[in-house]
Amino acid sequence: MGILLIGMSHKTSPLAVRERFSLSCENRDHPLDRIRQMPSIREALYLATCNRVEVLVSAAEEAEQAVEEGLKALMAERGGISGQELERCLYTLSGAEAVRHLFRVASSLDSLVMGEPQILGQVKEAYREAVEHGVTGILLNRILHHAFQVAKRVRTETGIADNAVSVGYAAVELAKKIFGRLDGKVILLVGAGEMSELAARHLLKQGIKSIFVANRTHARALEMAEQFEGKAVVLEQVPEVLKSVDIVISSTGASNYVLTRDMVAAALRRRKNRFLFLIDIAVPRDIEPAAGDIDNVYLYNIDHLQELVDENRNHRLREAEKAEAIIEEEVGNHTAWLSTLDVVPTIVEFREKIEGIMKAELEKSASWRHSLSEMDQRHVESLMASIVNKILHEPTACLREQSRNQNGKAYAAALRKLFKLER
């Protein structure tokens, strides 16, 4: 049996193509229902996320070409695209390359944001569905569990998931450095753009108490406030609201400063000098730079956040080199295990033959063993089993070792001939 992987990702296909596969999953049969019916396929995994669609199967090696063509035809059908259009987006991997790719995917080395944790959960969910559909066996079970172990090892032994690599996460990281904990804090969004919304989402996950939203278009402020279960205010209320918030995220695109130094200073006096964290992600800037000179005010603009993001991304890239080394080691371990499968049938038959000889001899001795006590009979049987295990140990260990050195088939053939193993 061989391993084959066919797929597409954000690296090889546009979003418009990946969207078709996502939509095709709605109100339709699961792809595994079709895959399990294909000739020569024994085991299968179907992984579909917003950034990738991949099929991993084990199939007879001599049928690999037919299996590949069948899977491509199925993907083209489900995506509603031509085979020619699909071919431009696909990659096909087999054997150790397929295993290496799966290990990298599960470890988030192949993700759009390297180090993100969601992909491992998505792989586990795809495996759960494969188990439920009854399309897993010895190969995929081993590969998937190995992939989970590799992902855990990468996350434990490297810093690939450390530090923020998006502006939103960078804002959270900086806020945590200032406040220590964010639970119970209050946010003011000035402007209801996409970047400020994303930053607010990240902050809200940290247990923020409440949120105010101010925007030039009040209807948009009401819409976002409802989304975050917050309160909408008009821009003229911002100076008043400043006295009760801890974090301000501003992104209006206004031509003049929305928050001036004097406005912030006045608010700080009424706040009894509590820390105020200002995030200005507007271009041109919304907050007068001089506001950052006030004691207990921490002002960061888009360049500060981007510098942090770039620094952290470089850190992850350095950690990725360690992760790649771990994956290479684990791919070698998997390949070594896989090579032993060729000699397993011979080992099983060898054990069955030797144990069969032992049982036959015990049956021949039944007449005189009847005179022994029940305990003595058990001692005899235990002694025979121990002798058999000692006889089997060295040849079996040698056969497994030689299989890792690519000599397993020759040694297995010799063992079969010496002991006349017929199957």
User: Residue 11 burial (CB < 10 Å; 0-12/13-18/19+)?
Assistant: exposed
Residue in this structure with the two tokens 């993907």, named with its chain if needed: 75
* 50 part of the active site: yes
d(CA 150, CA 110): 14
Spell out the long-range contacts of 297-304 with Cβ–Cβ below 8 A and sequence spacing 24 or more: 297/264, 297/268, 298/174, 298/178, 300/171, 300/174, 302/167
Structure tokens at 260: 């001036």
Q: How many CB atoms lie within 10 A of CB 353?
A: 14
Please report how many Cα atoms fall inside a 13 Å half-sphere around the Cα of residue 234, on the Cβ side: 1
Could you give the 3-state DSSP secondary structure of residue 298? strand
Catalytic residue among 25, 50, 89, 398: 50
Q: What is the largest CA-CA distance in the chain?
A: 108
Q: Burial level of 392, CB count in 10 A (0-12/13-18/19+)?
A: middle
Q: What is the DSSP string of 9-74?
A: ETTTS-HHHHHHHHHHTTTS--HHHHHTTSTTEEEEEEEE-SSEEEEEEEE-GGGHHHHHHHHHHH
User: What interhelical angle do 167-179 and 194-204 show, nearest 10?
Assistant: 50
Cβ pair 96, 331 in contact under 8 A: yes
Q: Exposed, middle or buried, 218 (CB in 10 Å: 0-12/13-18/19+)?
A: middle
Q: What is the SS3 assignment for 160?
A: coil
Nearest to 406 by CA among 340, 346, 328: 340
Residue whose structure tokens are 């699909």: 86
Residue 263 near residue 254 (C-beta atoms within 8 A)? no
Rounded to the nearest angstrom, the gap between the alpha carbon of residue 313 and the centroid of all alpha carbons in its chain is 18
Catalytic (active-site) positions: 50
